[in-house]
Amino acid sequence: QTAAGAAAVAALRDEAVRLGTAPLDPAHAGTWVFPAHPEYPEREYQLAIAGRALFENTLVSLPTGLGKTFIAAVVMHNYRRWFPSGKVVFMAPTRPLVAQQVEACHKIVGIPAEDTAQMQGSVAASLREGYWRERAVIYCTPQMLQNDLEARRVDARRIVLLVLDEAHRATGKYAYCEVVRLMEEAGARFRLLALSATPGSDLKRVQGVIDALRISAIEARADGDPDVAPYTHNRTIDRITVSISSDLKVFQSAFAAVLRPLCVQLHAAKLISHRDPTRPSSF
């Protein structure tokens, strides 16, 4: 590390102390690690995307099976190295997605289980508060982080990295958007990595996600792109459209009438993105 680099790290450390944010570790700040794993041979696009995501708020759009989980594990590991007293948070809307990332972080980059916590809805608030104090890597749903930020169970300024899976959900008042707003209001300085196989159905929707998550870089690949083509498989898709019969429409209407009051309550609580059960979205 050069003298200028050392001075820059020292200045960042002093600023972190002043702001109450997690300080940068000068011993590791000059390097970042990309794992050499026998089960995961190096792929050029993963190396390039991970390298960019370390330094910019990045939206990563890759087809399913091309390693979004791997890239997230690499970025999480390096922020844990750089900010040993900070918090790294991975958020996903479902338990299977959370479990997948937990396994990847342990298997690929060796994050020890004792440094992590999985926080589902059944975890008591008092226990969550302890996890926020003691654990470096937290896996949770966005609603849980939103609730804990609002209740001040976690110091937002100690969070250095947010990883958002299924990032296309970040529209309107969805919890991802609220988490970013609460973090900024608390004066947090953090990196954000957004993951999605389908960031949006049109440019307006994609731009909404970009704005909501403060994205400054986009790394998108399609099946036919040269750097990912060797790792994709040919697929044949047969699209079959099935119309709803008149009898089923009667049942659909009656069922929707029962569900509608519940959907209105869930929408008001910001737990779902729509209130009309007859018009569900893909996300």
Q: In total, how many domains does the chain have?
A: 2
Question: Would you state the pLDDT for residue 283?
Answer: 46
Q: Are residues 200 and 259 in the same domain?
A: no
Q: Which residue has the tokens 């890239």?
A: 71
- In this structure, is residue 51 part of a structural domain? yes
- In this structure, is residue 130 part of a structural domain? yes
Q: Are residues 113 and 198 in the same domain?
A: yes
- In this structure, is residue 169 part of a structural domain? yes
- In this structure, is residue 15 part of a structural domain? no
Q: Are residues 46 and 128 in the same domain?
A: yes
Question: Would you state the pLDDT for residue 10?
Answer: 63
Question: Would you state the pLDDT for residue 64?
Answer: 84
Q: Do residues 137 and 88 make contact, with C-beta atoms less than 8 angstroms apart?
A: yes
Q: Do residues 177 and 214 make contact, with C-beta atoms less than 8 angstroms apart?
A: no
Q: Are residues 224 and 98 in the same domain?
A: yes
- In this structure, is residue 97 part of a structural domain? yes
Per-residue tokens: 61: 């759009």
Q: Are residues 174 and 282 in the same domain?
A: no
Question: For the segment 221-232, what is each residue's pLDDT rounded down to a tens digit?
Answer: 988 889 888 888
- The CATH number of whichever domain residue 221 belongs to comes to 3.40.50.300
Q: Are residues 112 and 251 in the same domain?
A: no
The pLDDT confidence band at residue 127, using thresholds 50, 70 and 90, is very high
- In this structure, is residue 9 part of a structural domain? no
Q: Are residues 139 and 259 in the same domain?
A: no
Question: For the segment 72-112, what is each residue's pLDDT rounded down to a tens digit?
Answer: 999 999 999 999 999 999 999 888 888 888 888 888 888 88
What domain range includes position 54? 20-231
Q: Which amino acid is at 279?
A: R
Q: Are residues 33 and 157 in the same domain?
A: yes
Q: Are residues 185 and 248 in the same domain?
A: no
Q: Which residue has the tokens 């009898």?
A: 247
Please state the rounded mean pLDDT for residues 107-136.
90
Antiparallel, parallel or unpaired: β 137-140 and 58-61: unpaired
- In this structure, is residue 186 part of a structural domain? yes
- In this structure, is residue 118 part of a structural domain? yes
Question: For the segment 171-207, what is each residue's pLDDT rounded down to a tens digit?
Answer: 999 999 999 999 999 999 999 999 998 877 778 889 9
Q: Which helix (H) or strand (E) holds 246?
A: helix 246-268
Question: For the segment 52-68, what is each residue's pLDDT rounded down to a tens digit?
Answer: 999 999 999 998 888 89
